[in-house]
Homo-oligomer: A and B are copies of this chain.
Amino acid sequence: MAIPIFRSTSISESHKLLNSLGAPNSSISKKRNSISRCAPSELNLPRSEVSFCIGTHLIPHPNKVVEKGGEDAFFVSSYNGGIIAVADGVSGWAEQNVDPSLFSRELMAKASDLVGDEEVLLSQNRGTICFHHCNVGLEQCVNYDPQILLKKAHAATSSIGSATVIVAMLERNGSLKIANVGDCGLRVIRKGQIIFSTSPQEHYFDCPYQLSSEVVGQTYLDATVTSVRLMEGDTIVMGSDGLFDNVFNHEIISTMAEYSDVAEAAKALANLAHNHSTNSSFDSPYSSEARTKGYDVPWWKKFIGMKLTGKVVNERDI
């Protein structure tokens, strides 16, 4: 479960700082522009009119931590106004002796590389190289569009597997553009209430849309593409289903209200999700939804991981 949290801030001219700490617990490759935790200091990016303050926390699935370090991967970047992406490897691949973390990690690594490559292109030869290389408008070429970034990163990924994935890009005018395939999610909190929420996509209960190495999977064209106009002080919480299946929105709001430090808040949310997932008496968002859809899901079923690789699920398996 990966939980990046942003808090949007205005840029102070005296405060411009490019912070390159590297993401904790993230095993993906990072290039020159990758950035991560900046709490409680602010990450104010040159050329941006708005910026993020970012905190992240990742807790691998308890069953997967020893062998592989978890199936989630994420990256954060200072590109344009800032980019954050989370991918969650579909655990069902383990049944076919495929490490589910390989695809999600490579997907994030490729996305990070693409962003880094194109930022260099942009700074060296604005417009010209992009025009020749991409034969499209500059905006699309340099991946101002999160859906195009998904397309390119997916095409560049060679690992076997599949992953749910979400990418959010902050534009300099304050718009947060989001492309989402599957059941990763994003919430925007403003003045103590959630004013924007992504909606998960699934084929049927617990079988989310996913980018895949196989042709049966979804593509960037299946992404839900949305945007939300941010205001100073907004908080953005992103995560894989490990967060949103185990923590209710009102708990996210109350947890965020407790912490001014976004890194501490991300850690608290991750711990809350982990505790709920191991608490047999907690009626989680996941178990509530399962009941609504006619399933009686024992708590341990979710705990051991129930994502599927695409085959039609038998109700007995649920």
Residues of A that sit less than 8 Å from B by CB: 147, 190, 193-197, 199, 201-202, 224-229, 250, 292
Residue of B nearest to A231 (CB): B221
Q: Is B228 within 8 A of A229, CB to CB?
A: no
Known: A193-B201, A195-B201, A199-B196. A228 touches B226 (CB 8 A): yes
| Residue in contact with A224 in the complex, picked from B195, B199, B202, B226, CB distance below 8 Å | B195
Copies in the complex: 2
Given A193-B199, A193-B202; 14 other pairs, CB 8 A cutoff: A147-B229, A190-B224, A193-B201, A195-B199, A195-B201, A196-B226, A197-B197, A224-B228, A225-B229, A226-B226, A226-B228, A226-B229, A227-B228, A250-B292
Min Cβ gap A88→B in Å is 18
Min Cβ gap A204→B in Å is 10
Min Cβ gap A191→B in Å is 9
Residue of B nearest to A221 (CB): B231
A196 neighbours in B (Cβ, 8 Å): 199, 224, 226
**7 residue pairs, one from A and one from B, having the closest CB atoms:** A225-B229, A195-B224, A227-B227, A226-B228, A195-B199, A194-B199, A197-B199
Min Cβ gap A72→B in Å is 23
A226 neighbours in B (Cβ, 8 Å): 196, 226-229
Q: Considering the chains assembled together, what is the distance between the CA atoms of A195 and B199 in angstroms?
A: 5
Residue of B nearest to A180 (CB): B195
